[in-house]
């Protein structure tokens, strides 16, 4: 016996089919699924019964296109393999769903062209907002969003025009210098990469500036990538010199973990006795007993909640001046920094 193959594709239950089953007009079905619309209770009950029997769901995308705005919210992000970015996207997606929005993730590589193409795609689908988690939104992207009336929120950047949610990188870097100096550690190093994202640049510049204010120079070492292997590569250049570095501020946790493993396994350094290390992000691996990394904790849930709050404020007042929200990040002390002389 041969199996027949349906080549016509999936069949979605339409509002017209619900209307026929309920014995009402097509407009009655529309009113039944429109909050606040005028419809007799008995008619609505018949429509809902027919819809449940047929498995009908409202086509929100079509409704959004007709209204010139959908419930889609675009998340434009690169570096999705990094633990923090994964946590950030997950937290923001959960809150968008709870809000009644539909998150659409568009992965990109860093750069204006790819971010611009992603943003244009979201505009074509009438997304209600675009949230850029990474990349470099140019002035043309900002202008395009403003012409189309679409909210644009950039996270971790400083751009003229859109709304912002930022981390207080400068204050964190200053605290890192203060922590090291309070322990008598004056031969300082910083590990970063050549990626040059705004967050990384802010952390580096603020750390170097805070050290110089106290009469200290910082040995800066850049790797090709801001990852575990990059941390190891930077460690091989920074720590293998004749003038030993006593304390290192790493611009993210992955680089810190790579540096710690290289320092212990290759150079036989003890942490924190020979080397103190501070990271940034607060990814779950920093809590592992093999690392116990002291780090600045970016709370992905707090960051997501603030991003949603900014989006709600923008939609409530589309003509308001750009919103700039700056979040502080706490330093979580663990075992990678030498204790103070009093034991704390």
pLDDT at site 246: 95
As a whole number, mean pLDDT of residues 38-50 equals: 87
Tens-digit pLDDT profile for residues 187-224: 999 999 998 788 899 999 999 999 999 999 999 999 99
Q: Residue holding tokens 């904790």? A: 297
Distance in angstroms (rounded) separating the CA atoms of residues 271 and 269: 7
Q: Comparing 105 with 218, which gets the higher pLDDT?
A: 218
pLDDT at site 3: 37
pLDDT at site 130: 86
Percent of the chain with pLDDT over 90: 53
Q: Residue holding tokens 């505009």? A: 123
- Residue 114: pLDDT band (50, 70, 90) is low
Q: Is the pLDDT of residue 60 over 80?
A: no
Q: Worst-scoring range by mean pLDDT, 212-216, 331-335, 339-343?
A: 339-343
Q: Is the pLDDT of residue 9 over 80?
A: no
Q: Is the pLDDT of residue 142 over 90?
A: no
Q: Comparing 239 with 9, which gets the higher pLDDT?
A: 239
- Residue 46: pLDDT band (50, 70, 90) is confident
Q: Is the pLDDT of residue 8 over 70?
A: no
Q: Is the distance from CB of 250 to CB of 218 less than 8 angstroms?
A: no
pLDDT at site 1: 37
User: What CATH superfamily is the domain 169-298?
Assistant: Response regulator (3.40.50.2300)
pLDDT at site 36: 72
pLDDT at site 241: 72
pLDDT at site 69: 54
pLDDT at site 30: 78
Topology (CATH) of 15-58: 434 Repressor (Amino-terminal Domain) (1.10.260)
Percent of the chain with pLDDT over 70: 82
Average pLDDT, the chain: 85
pLDDT at site 10: 47
- Residue 66: pLDDT band (50, 70, 90) is very low
pLDDT at site 33: 76
The domains of the chain are located at: 15-58, 72-167+300-326, 169-298
pLDDT at site 34: 75
Q: Is the pLDDT of residue 5 over 50?
A: no
pLDDT at site 29: 82
pLDDT at site 196: 79
Q: Residue holding tokens 């967050």? A: 199
pLDDT at site 160: 74
- Residue 254: pLDDT band (50, 70, 90) is very high
CB-based contacts of 87-92 (< 8 A; 24+ apart in sequence): 87/283, 87/300, 88/133, 88/300, 88/303, 88/304, 89/133, 90/300, 91/300, 91/301, 91/303, 91/304, 92/131, 92/133, 92/300, 92/303, 92/304, 92/307, 92/308
Burial class (CB in 10 A: 0-12, 13-18, 19+), 333: middle
Record the pTM.
0.78
CATH class for the domain made up of 72-167+300-326 = alpha beta
Q: Comparing 108 with 206, which gets the higher pLDDT?
A: 206
Tens-digit pLDDT profile for residues 294-307: 999 999 999 999 99
What are the C-alpha distances in Å from 39 to residues 15, 28, 34, 48?
Answer: 16, 7, 10, 12
């Amino acid at each position: 016996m041969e199996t027949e193959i349906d080549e016509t594709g999936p069949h979605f239950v339409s509002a017209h089919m619900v209307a026929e089953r309920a014995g009402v007009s097509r407009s009655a079905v529309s009113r039944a699924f429109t909050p606040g619309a005028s419809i007799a209770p008995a008619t609505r009950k018949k429509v809902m019964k027919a819809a449940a029997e047929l498995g009908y769901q409202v086509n929100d995308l079509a409704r959004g296109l007709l209204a010139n705005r959908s419930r889609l919210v675009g998340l434009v992000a690169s570096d999705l393999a990094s633990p923090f970015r994964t946590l950030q996207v997950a937290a923001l997606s959960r809150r968008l769903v709870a809000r009644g929005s539909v998150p659409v993730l568009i992965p990109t590589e860093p750069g204006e062209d790819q971010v611009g193409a992603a943003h244009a795609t979201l505009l074509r689908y009438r997304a209600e907002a675009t949230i850029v988690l990474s990349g470099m939104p140019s002035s043309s992207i900002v202008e395009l969003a403003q012409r189309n009336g679409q909210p644009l929120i950039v996270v971790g950047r400083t751009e003229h025009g859109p709304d912002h949610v930022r981390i207080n990188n400068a204050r964190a870097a200053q605290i890192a210098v203060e922590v090291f100096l309070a322990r008598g550690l004056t031969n300082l190093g910083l590990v970063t990469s050549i990626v040059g994202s705004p967050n990384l640049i802010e952390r580096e510049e603020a750390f170097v500036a805070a050290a110089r204010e106290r009469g200290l120079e910082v040995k800066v070492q850049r790797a090709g990538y801001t990852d575990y292997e990059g941390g190891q590569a930077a460690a091989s250049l920074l720590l293998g010199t004749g003038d030993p570095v006593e304390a290192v501020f790493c611009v993210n946790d992955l680089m810190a973990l790579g540096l710690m493993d290289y320092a212990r396994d290759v150079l036989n350094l003890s942490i924190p006795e020979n080397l103190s290390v501070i990271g940034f992000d607060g990814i779950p691996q920093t809590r592992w007993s093999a690392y116990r990394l002291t780090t600045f904790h970016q709370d992905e849930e707090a960051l997501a909640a603030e991003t949603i709050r900014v989006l709600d404020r923008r939609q409530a007042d589309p003509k308001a001046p750009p919103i700039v929200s700056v979040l502080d990040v706490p330093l979580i002390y663990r075992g990678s920094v030498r204790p103070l002389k009093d034991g704390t």
